[in-house]
Structure 1
Amino acid sequence: MTQRSYPESPGFKVAGASQEAAEAIAPQAPRVRDRVLQCIRMLPGMTADEIAAALGLSILTVRPRVSELHRQGEIQPTGGRHRNSSGMTAGTWEVAPPLPNQHGTTT
């Protein structure tokens, strides 16, 4: 079996609780990323916290998936910001345009 690395698989910075959390969510992460991407496709301009609420998931599950999708080039910031429950503002997301292939065309 091939070991996958971030952002295809949840990452962690140091061994311990962060590593344990990454390993625990790893089997579910691809499905959650797909759900997050579908939500952004249907309702662009939401923050990670708004996406979590729309999907009925924890922000601690959704925020890392948003980061992974951004790192993979699937989504991009809109430039907008919304206030979240902490009173701070957070960036909003949209689906990124397709990247060109080696022939210079998009798929």
Structure 2
Amino acid sequence: MAARFKLSRRGVGKLLRSPMVKAEMERRAQAVMATAVALSPVGGPGDPHAGRYKASWSPDSTARGGRRRDRATATVRNTAPYARWVEYGTERVRAHHVLLRAARSGGG
């Protein structure tokens, strides 16, 4: 006799919001953040904000994230006011893609 499986959407929803999944998302966010900190540029001798970008990384997590607010998620962000230009670059400064490279590491 073949085994049968019936999907319980409610059960899958509980799993996706469970403390176990949230803890894993937080662990991965910490790993991505550690990689981002290691890759962060610090600035040169004339930089008035040397090290600010590197010190501005922070993780955040929630059990109600995602597009439908139905799963645990974790986010890594940089709160430095110029973080966007470090990541994507400008016409005068090359893009560093710190968060992109850190996320590609997978946090695993």
TM-score, with length taken from structure 2: 0.26
TM-score, with length taken from structure 1: 0.27
> Greater CA radius of gyration, 1 or 2?
2
